[in-house]
Amino acid sequence: MSAVIDHGHGDHPHGPAPGLMRWVLTTNHKDIGTLYLWFSFCAFLLGGSFAMVIRAELFQPGLQIVEPAFFNQMTTMHGLIMVFGAVMPAFVGLANWMIPLMIGAPDMALPRMNNFSFWLLPAAFGLLVSTLFMEGGGPNFGWTFYAPLSTTYAPQSVTFFIFAIHLMGISSIMGAINVIATVLNLRAPGMTLMKMPLFVWTWLITAFLLIAVMPVLAGVVTMMLMDIHFGTSFFSAAGGGDPVLFQHVFWFFGHPEVYIMILPAFGAVSAIIPTFSRKPLFGYTSMVYATGAIAFLSFIVWAHHMFVVGIPVAGELFFMYATMLIAVPTGVKVFNWVSTMWRGSLTFEAPMLFAVAFVILFTIGGFSGLMLAIAPADFQYHDTYFVVAHFHYVLVPGAIFGIFASAYYWLPKWTGHMYDERLAKLHFWLSFVGMNLAFFPMHFVGLAGMPRRIPDYNLMFADFNRVSSLGAFLFGATQLLFLYIVVKCIRGGEPAPAKPWDGAHGLEWSVPSPAPYHTFSTPPEVE
Amino acid sequence: MSTHEQYYVPAQSKWPIVASLGLLTTFYGLGSWFNDLKAGRDSLSGPLILFVGALLLAWMLFGWFGNVIRENRAGLYSAQMDRSFRWGMSWFIFSEVMFFLAFFGALFYVRTFAGPWLAGEGDKGVSHLLWPDFAFAWPLLANPDPKLFPPPAGTISAWSLPLLNTVLLVSSSFTVTFAHHALKDGNRSRLKGWLALTILLGVCFLILQAEEYGHAYHELGLTLGSGVYGATFFLLTGFHGAHVTLGSIILAVMLVRVLLGHFTPEEHFGFEAASWYWHFVDVVWIGLFVFVYVL
């Protein structure tokens, strides 16, 4: 392996290397984006199959399919894989593909580190999933892994869980550094910050959140490791520590994390809605500032996850009001999306369907979040299915629909073919119905007191749970249709023009479809 | 952004995948070793896998950094690439700051909230019911359950070795800056002298830190297992020590590069990044000296 001294002047651009090693050794942002997206989809199917196990067990009251101990591993692994394996890598994949195209850059700023960020993920998830086959089973303490359940009472595979989290953290931090360096340093001449597409803006802010909180997650799992193996007492009151300390440090990471999973979707939807409304985005500047405000507030609301754990009243009040404040910038965003559609020439292709559903259903999830923010009310809702309903409403029709919308929106650019619109619409409607059937009844059983993470339940919850399970099976099976649509689109279909959407704006539509292996070797001039 | 056309997009590289495999092997070996130790199993497989992983990582570091240095010396990098490296290094240091913040946060939380509550003071003093005899003081020389966590007999005084270490490390921040000025002035012999002195100060710091740890473990009974004082003390100072070690190695690599004739007065980002890292390590120490030792 010698230092490679060809190219760099765009005078003899090379295409992709042949064979499998193309993907292993690549430094190309499009290749790496593709790898991220496929990895994310595999994780989505794996985490989804765990969800199917959970919903099958909860199809009727009583214990029938899996052991409670295994059920715990399923809820834990479902959460971990969906958060760290499906949603986050999908957005990094979109960032890799789209940010250089959107800002007129030849590639990401640090291409080899980009490859390193990706290939750490299979390592991390290989390690994580292998714990399921280890003695004592995999992680069974919930994706939030509260101490002492995850320290004193954990299966011994927790050590590998901790190192898997470290690997994911290293991957995320490097990915985020790459995004920031790219956005701040590689914009085409004339592309000022306030001319950047919102997807780039939201990713810039997301990257900042990632660099700020992933090290804190590394810190908390390190304290766990020390408590488990080296006799420290961070989370043990017997030595002067405090199990609640775990929750503070974890949620200092965990709350910004939920915005990490939704801000890029905000950005994508802010590109899609104007395109299919054939109007410029309403209130661009306020969108940027609202995103910044949400990011700032996300750092000072973490203890709303801990209202019942025992924090002083002053703390409860502060975190309650600070949390409610987030509704203001979020409201600005929803208002702007709706105003963009107002009197637009709307058409409802698949990306737009997912985007409109995003606005409506994410708002429902936002409202149940406001209910949970009210400390005295949260005393009732805490750890019930109402919480499960809330965060699935912000993550499934929020993050996941945002990813589907982005995938359909940019598939023509990636593959050079139009996807099958009829099947995509079917995918949308089946997902929409399935997801609402699965998660809406959870509000009711939650308010009636059904606890989360328990494999059995009271007879009175049986009907709603059956509906939830049927909806979940429908939603899960529908995603195989998505796989089929994507594969079909890659293999053929109506050739896509450079700009397949007549209302679209932005540099990514100025290059041919499919985008050539190297784009913008010489920077475009903006405005 | 006039240099945009010169932007260097590297071709395929094997180093990232070697790095991923190396990290995976290292962590797998470490985890197996820890689990074997805890279960009392006498097995060599963990340390062996760890060793293989460490070798892979060392090979990768030589290869990858060597690659970057060769490309740089071949003149492939533009001013824009230089800015990318600067952004990358700055945000990496920011991530390190946040890592230390988690441990400083734990220290503040225990001292300000959890400790007093456990002793019956404040809003959540009800937890006093657990150990009614427990009284909280910092440093924590009496743990709630002394059988599980035997408390230390004493703690390290700020005004002995730690003060000396502060002087050493703050001086080293000055010497590395003098070295940087010498580099910019083109005075290579002064550069070598100041840089070597910086490394020497770092190594002295580490030796004194080891001395302090020996004193804590063998004479004071201040260990990782001696309650939350020992836990926060050793994690904060230990991770800092690990960073000083890494910083010294980085500076040593820079010294080797200086001796090989690398760096020009105008263009020496490798050296600057090393000095940034060194200043960061220094600032963390000042935080440690104030909040761990003095207060």
Domain ranges of chain A: 24-510
Q: Is A67 a catalytic residue?
A: no
Q: Let me know if A248 is a catalytic residue.
A: no
Å from B21 to nearest chain A CA? 7
Across chain B, mean pLDDT equals: 94
| pLDDT digits 0-9 by tens, A449-463 | 999 999 999 999 999
Residue of A27, A126, A252 with shortest CB distance to B9? A27
pLDDT band at A6 (very low <50, low <70, confident <90, very high): very low
Of A3, A10, A180, the CB nearest to B91: A180
Q: Which residue of B has its CA nearest to A120?
A: B20
**Segment B216-227 mean pLDDT:** 96
pLDDT at residue A310 tops 80: yes
Please judge whether A25 and B12 are an interchain contact, meaning their C-beta atoms are less than 8 angstroms apart.
yes
* Residue B8 or A163, more confident: A163
From A119, A158, A126, A130, select the one nearest A142 (Cα to Cα): A158
User: How far is residue A180's CA from residue A328's CA, in Å, rounded to a whole number?
Assistant: 27
What tokens were used for A139? 């992680």
Number of H helices, E strands in chain B: 8, 0
Fold of A24-510: Cytochrome C Oxidase; Chain A (1.20.210)
Interface size A-B, in CB pairs within 8 Å, comes to 269
Q: Is A297 helix (H, G, I), strand (E, B) or coil?
A: helix
Q: Which two tokens stand for residue A138?
A: 């995999």
* Residues of B with Cβ-Cβ distance to A127 under 8 angstroms: 24, 27-28
A21 touches chain B (CB under 8 A): yes
Taking only residues 273 to 292 of chain A, the set having a beta carbon closer than 8 angstroms to any beta carbon of chain B reads none
Q: Is A382 a catalytic residue?
A: no
Instruction: Show me where the domains of chain B are located.
Output: 1-77, 79-294
Distance, in Å, from the CA atom of B200 to the CA atom of B3, rounded to the nearest integer, reads 40
* Cβ-contact B149, B134 below 8 angstroms: no
Instruction: Tell me the pLDDT tens digit for each residue of A410-448.
Output: 999 999 999 999 999 999 999 999 999 999 999 999 999
Look up residue A40 and give its two tokens: 């994310």
Establish whether this prediction's ipTM goes over 0.90.
Answer: yes
CATH for B79-294 is 1.20.120.80
Among A42, A44, A43, A50, CA closest to A77: A50
pLDDT tens per residue, range B37-92: 999 998 999 999 999 999 999 999 999 999 999 999 998 888 889 999 999 999 99
Q: Tokens at residue A433, please?
A: 């119905």
- Sort out which chain B residues have CB atoms less than 8 A from A211's CB and list them: 91, 94-95, 98
Q: Do B12 and A184 touch (CB under 8 A)?
A: no
pLDDT band, very low/low/confident/very high, at A341 (cuts 50, 70, 90): very high
Cβ atoms within 10 Å, residue A184: 15
A84, with CB counted inside 10 A (0-12, 13-18, 19+), is buried
Say if residue B116 is preceded by a cis peptide, omega within 30 of 0: no
Nearby residues of A477 by Cβ (< 8 Å), 6 or more positions away: none
Q: Given this model, what pLDDT does residue B76 score?
A: 86
* Mean local confidence (pLDDT), A336-349: 97
Helices (H) then strands (E): counts for chain A: 18, 0
pLDDT band, residue A14 (cuts 50/70/90): low
A527 exposed, middle or buried (CB, 10 Å; 0-12, 13-18, 19+)?
A: exposed
Amino acid identity at A345: S
User: Among residues 364-393 of chain A, which lie with CB inside 8 Å of chain B?
Assistant: none
0.80 cut: is pTM over it? yes
